[in-house]
Structure 1
């Protein structure tokens, strides 16, 4: 249950393992072993997935994949479909025409694309040549009309489509057929640098032409005829909390090696024991020392690690009428939270060199990363004086103003130890400056839908999943649009940020774009948009015979190659 960045929007992670929060591997502990790292070593660059050639992967087998909860929405482009669990499930079944590589660069997937080229810069035109063998499970070829329908659904022109985001689609002026139905010509009304992140994932025109299908057709389960991947949907058991996909006989590429993938919905707190008893094929460790230590004790286990694009943060609710509406108050409160303590408490024993993240748009390992977090450097005395200046004075142990106490509600999902630990630390630290934090643990199954997405919180903790197109995929989080939330759940922003986002998305020169992006980040810190905590290196525990899977870092999985060594 974690939203993710992908094309129109980001995916967030509410818990840890299912959220993709991870830590580095370490040595020792029972019969387990740890990849190529020793305890406390930093994660490796690129990724660590035990790569094996396709012909060296055993044919067959079941792969038991843990998720936090069954997705509430299987259309990843719909507002409620941005959870990372949804991405894990649907990436086996729907076209990702571009896939991230270990260096955080998008590359065309030849199963779907023969080529994708910027064929003009004035106006900007992108020409896609589709693999002529690519077909939806209905038998209809994937063609230019699928691109056209997705553009029209996601460009914001029809409010009946409840979309996760419009970035990239709102600057397309036309989608037309080229020389054949499998040649797609996309013309932009203004320059859009992250064009490779558009149409990810691609859904068919049958979904994108009808708001009812778009919003409701994918709620209970995937629509098999409207998917096109190496796997297809077989069944979902809401009672057992399992969803099964099986090898797709209509797939035109190399057949998937696995017979099936079974997605098993479990609270993150229960996943370590489930992995230990063989009920799961792997365990995402997350920033949990206890999970890390538990994984080390499991016989015949390796822990694979890599730098990842994902990060934890605290979202603040600054919507009109909220107690944290004033940016000066948000900044004062942020100064009362020691991010170093949060970071070290969660991943320090695993990654001793870990430090807080300092950029909302780039993570360390991506070109352009600069730390601008000094504006909220931990300083409890300054926090106290700033709150005093705002009229929030101590009355007993809690500050008050105009008869109202400074009490903020920290909403977290149940069964997520990382969020629980973070909220307790924040509660203790803010009590020291006279701010009372009430922790409200809510059901994890509807954490996003009933709380985060609708602004039913004062502060909340989860993680964002990164992509190779961080500007366009993050825009929906930081753009403030009247009467629309999108993924800016705290309703915090200003026109300066909106204008800079437009500039950054339109700048085709990467070096110039990085300058603009860092200006955006400085402004986000200045207005107290959200408090970043730490970047999560990937850490995954699994058996040594699991191949082409593990700590994927910035890359996307090739679902056809996941499996077991011969």
Structure 2
């Protein structure tokens, strides 16, 4: 399975961790020279978001009832999304059964959900920020109690971080709330903040009933194995750890448009077993890897999904376009795209044929049967709200020198890497230019110019400037009494980048983005007049208190306002060095430990790693690739810092000011001498980056907030702790007769709109119950709701119509 970092702050959904969470920590090292900083303009091109590919269909085109079997990664350890062991399945369940006051649109922008909110807005900015929530008067918990102020107060008290008896994983935002007051009634909730909070829309999603959050005992244990009270289109029926599945059934007290499905079964199935589970009928929907996607495309042939993820107006046009024979989006492809699609299909068939050629007898017969069954599926694809990046551990070893980190970054051709992953899938092949947003989000702008484009000669110049030369590789170790100081043992007893033994030693925790903290003393001495970020002038053009009058080492016009990395100055011998010549310093070779996961689902990541190793070899940087089990990749290597280079992914977030900070914030020394890195596994960060995050989190003007985030991102690029490569592909195999589900991209799923075009093969006990007449009541309520007649009573009536239909659920995301 592809490696995705821990959630950035919120709940998880899908294979990558939360679509809305992200936590951060970062420490940048080295002295960076900056040009005079101009204010960022508000007309940045934020790109186009990849369209969702969910085979959309109107509700009245779907059958009423049926059980959807959906693959997930695990049975949830807890149903409380705010606990440390909450996982992707926890988030998926929360999205279907609990209030989400704000959901995300296709651009990752929060939108108030009218099922829960009549309105939510800032009603006061001075002297303190006050947000007023007016709740939907029909909104009730499944026990009949109305959703109101007591639920807000209880959740705030549990998550504010004042009482350690609550086992909470985060308190961001809740710790800024000063008080919560009831307005004219419990449906009118006023939240006053002690200091401004830009990401207030991230709070109270999901919202739990006060019975779950009122006391530490309730919070810690009350919602781990079951959730008795909920308020979504579905409710939790059971969590079966033995059968590895969680069953959700239609909520009889749901006041909104009733769920089309009678039940959803979330079934834990390993990635490498999902194609077989789809073919055998155990699954209807599943995230899959590229290999399984090829097999499904090969089986489907011309009847498979012909849609291409489109962006902006093109994407909207595709969603409105005619549907193909199997209900897939039928966006018209250009002749060039048709040729490319034909080529991809041919490649998929060739790969499948090659796989079949290795089999004989019974295995071959089973393989052919599986391919025949897979014709009922197609692959829905988009770009996931997550990005793959190259992380560089800057705490120790050669990468503690920011010049070496920048050399690594400048040696890599990011476009070729993106092409190798995305083009074969027919997805838009673009590099990602931001650490804090993905294309289509308002905060997105390409700030990679702050580091510089791919340039092998500049990479070699930076390495020479840092003392890594061909001559250095040939010198005897005894030539310097302090040779290889970067390669000393760390405090944990593990070797650093230069030690071959390190490749065999585990030692890292779950991570997502590595940053570095080592700061070269010589650089600090040389640029003592600069701040820790190398800033000479602040964003408003005024001198910082400690700014020097020196001119920046490199001005890069046309790039993002922010930090810019200085150029290297090549030594004569280095400039003349043949391409690919080994580099060293005082007889120590420049060799970096490159840690990659070894699991069956991580083949694509390893292929990218091999390409990166080849690119680095051309500038004289050697790598020692260590392949480790997926289960220990984060825990034993990344989080503990037992690596120099690594590849893994971070989920994107709708709230980068809050969720981005722990990943890029400057690590701080703890009382015991260790380094507190939060989620900043590269150990690279600066005070200025922290300041920009703090300012953005308190900026209530959205345009100004985005400007501050872009400035922070430019500095993160210049620090070169992590290098975003590309947005990850999102591949979802779905049965051709299931609609409104698939590759969602950033947008929040509407679970009540997911359904089948026909119940044939999906009836189960639930489908039969619906056919017995109860479905008719639900359909009537649905039509009444569309006509504006769906009041609170009607909502309950519609729910009652589907209640019993979910009692005997069958068997289902990752």
1:536 to 722, 728, 746: 728
Please give the secondary structure, in 2, of the residue aligned with 1:408.
Answer: strand
Judged with a 3 Å threshold, the aligned counterparts in structure 2 of structure 1 residues 447 and 279 are, in CA distance, closer, same or farther, namely farther
Q: Counterpart of 1:345?
A: 420
Q: Counterpart of 1:57?
A: 62
Q: Counterpart of 1:314?
A: 390
Distance in 2, matches of 1:224 and 1:549, equals 25
Q: Counterpart of 2:435?
A: 360
Q: Counterpart of 2:172?
A: 167
Judged with a 3 Å threshold, the aligned counterparts in structure 2 of structure 1 residues 428 and 78 are, in CA distance, closer, same or farther, namely farther
Q: Counterpart of 1:106?
A: 110
Please give the secondary structure, in 1, of the residue aligned with 2:154.
Answer: helix
Distance in 2, matches of 1:453 and 1:161, equals 25
Distance in 2, matches of 1:137 and 1:316, equals 49
Judged with a 3 Å threshold, the aligned counterparts in structure 2 of structure 1 residues 164 and 386 are, in CA distance, closer, same or farther, namely farther
Q: State the 1:532 CA deviation.
A: 0.7
Q: Counterpart of 2:147?
A: 142
Q: State the 1:15 CA deviation.
A: 7.0
2:650 to 435, 452, 464: 464
Do structure 1's residue 48 and structure 2's residue 234 form an aligned pair? no
Q: Counterpart of 1:234?
A: 237
Asked if structure 1 preserves the Cα contact closer than 8 Å seen for 2:13 and 2:92, the reply is: no
CA deviations on 1:192-239 (whole Å, 9 max, x unpaired) are 223212222223444445556656665xx5431254333233334445
Per mean C-alpha deviation after superposition, the further-off stretch among 543-552 and 264-273 is: 264-273
CA deviations on 1:77-131 (whole Å, 9 max, x unpaired) are 23443x4443223322222111112343322223322321221122221111223
Distance in 2, matches of 1:459 and 1:262, equals 39
Judged with a 3 Å threshold, the aligned counterparts in structure 2 of structure 1 residues 456 and 266 are, in CA distance, closer, same or farther, namely farther
Judged with a 3 Å threshold, the aligned counterparts in structure 2 of structure 1 residues 487 and 76 are, in CA distance, closer, same or farther, namely farther
Do structure 1's residue 438 and structure 2's residue 630 form an aligned pair? no
Structure number with the higher helix fraction is 2
Do structure 1's residue 257 and structure 2's residue 260 form an aligned pair? yes
Please give the secondary structure, in 1, of the residue aligned with 2:205.
Answer: coil
Distance in 2, matches of 1:70 and 1:135, equals 28
Judged with a 3 Å threshold, the aligned counterparts in structure 2 of structure 1 residues 65 and 14 are, in CA distance, closer, same or farther, namely closer
Distance in 2, matches of 1:14 and 1:455, equals 25
Q: Counterpart of 2:403?
A: 328
Q: State the 1:72 CA deviation.
A: 4.4
Distance in 2, matches of 1:88 and 1:534, equals 25
Judged with a 3 Å threshold, the aligned counterparts in structure 2 of structure 1 residues 321 and 144 are, in CA distance, closer, same or farther, namely farther
Distance in 2, matches of 1:64 and 1:514, equals 40
Q: Over aligned residue pairs, what C-alpha RMSD do you find?
A: 3.7
Judged with a 3 Å threshold, the aligned counterparts in structure 2 of structure 1 residues 257 and 513 are, in CA distance, closer, same or farther, namely same
Asked if structure 1 preserves the Cα contact closer than 8 Å seen for 2:382 and 2:427, the reply is: no
CA deviations on 1:9-58 (whole Å, 9 max, x unpaired) are 48598779x99xxxxxxxxxxxxxxxxxxxxxx99854333333334322
Q: State the 1:389 CA deviation.
A: 3.7
Asked if structure 1 preserves the Cα contact closer than 8 Å seen for 2:427 and 2:729, the reply is: no
Distance in 1, matches of 2:14 and 2:753, equals 26
The alignment's TM-score, normalised by the length of structure 1, stands at: 0.82
1:363-512 to 2 correspondences below 5 Å: 363-374=438-449, 375=451, 377-392=453-468, 395=473, 399=584, 406-412=591-597, 414-417=599-602, 418-432=604-618, 433-444=620-631, 457-480=643-666, 482=668, 485-512=677-704
Judged with a 3 Å threshold, the aligned counterparts in structure 2 of structure 1 residues 73 and 429 are, in CA distance, closer, same or farther, namely farther
Q: State the 1:354 CA deviation.
A: 0.7
Please give the secondary structure, in 1, of the residue aligned with 2:274.
Answer: helix
1:16-27 to 2 correspondences below 5 Å: none
CA deviations on 1:505-562 (whole Å, 9 max, x unpaired) are 2223233222211101101111123221112354433233212212323211111121
Distance in 2, matches of 1:285 and 1:233, equals 25
Do structure 1's residue 552 and structure 2's residue 554 form an aligned pair? no
Judged with a 3 Å threshold, the aligned counterparts in structure 2 of structure 1 residues 146 and 541 are, in CA distance, closer, same or farther, namely same
Do structure 1's residue 126 and structure 2's residue 202 form an aligned pair? no
Please give the secondary structure, in 1, of the residue aligned with 2:597.
Answer: strand
Aligned length: 536
Asked if structure 2 preserves the Cα contact closer than 8 Å seen for 1:398 and 1:434, the reply is: yes
Q: Counterpart of 1:272?
A: 275
Judged with a 3 Å threshold, the aligned counterparts in structure 2 of structure 1 residues 105 and 268 are, in CA distance, closer, same or farther, namely same
CA deviations on 1:441-482 (whole Å, 9 max, x unpaired) are 2244x6556665565654443333334434333333223463
Q: Counterpart of 2:496?
A: none
Asked if structure 2 preserves the Cα contact closer than 8 Å seen for 1:276 and 1:295, the reply is: no
1:276-291 to 2 correspondences below 5 Å: 276-285=279-288, 288=290, 291=293
Q: State the 1:5 CA deviation.
A: 6.3
Gaps of 5+ in 1: 20-41
Asked if structure 2 preserves the Cα contact closer than 8 Å seen for 1:80 and 1:449, the reply is: no
Distance in 2, matches of 1:324 and 1:170, equals 36
Asked if structure 2 preserves the Cα contact closer than 8 Å seen for 1:414 and 1:443, the reply is: yes
Judged with a 3 Å threshold, the aligned counterparts in structure 2 of structure 1 residues 61 and 302 are, in CA distance, closer, same or farther, namely same
Q: Counterpart of 2:297?
A: 295
Distance in 2, matches of 1:267 and 1:399, equals 44
Q: Counterpart of 1:526?
A: 718
Per mean C-alpha deviation after superposition, the further-off stretch among 552-561 and 335-344 is: 335-344
Gaps of 5+ in 2: 21-46, 301-374, 475-581, 671-675, 759-814
Q: State the 1:256 CA deviation.
A: 2.4
Distance in 2, matches of 1:400 and 1:162, equals 49
Structure number with the higher strand fraction is 1
Please give the secondary structure, in 1, of the residue aligned with 2:63.
Answer: coil
Please give the secondary structure, in 1, of the residue aligned with 2:707.
Answer: helix
Q: State the 1:493 CA deviation.
A: 2.1
Distance in 1, matches of 2:218 and 2:646, equals 31
Distance in 2, matches of 1:147 and 1:301, equals 43
CA deviations on 1:394-438 (whole Å, 9 max, x unpaired) are 648685779697442515362323333333333444444333233
Judged with a 3 Å threshold, the aligned counterparts in structure 2 of structure 1 residues 389 and 338 are, in CA distance, closer, same or farther, namely same
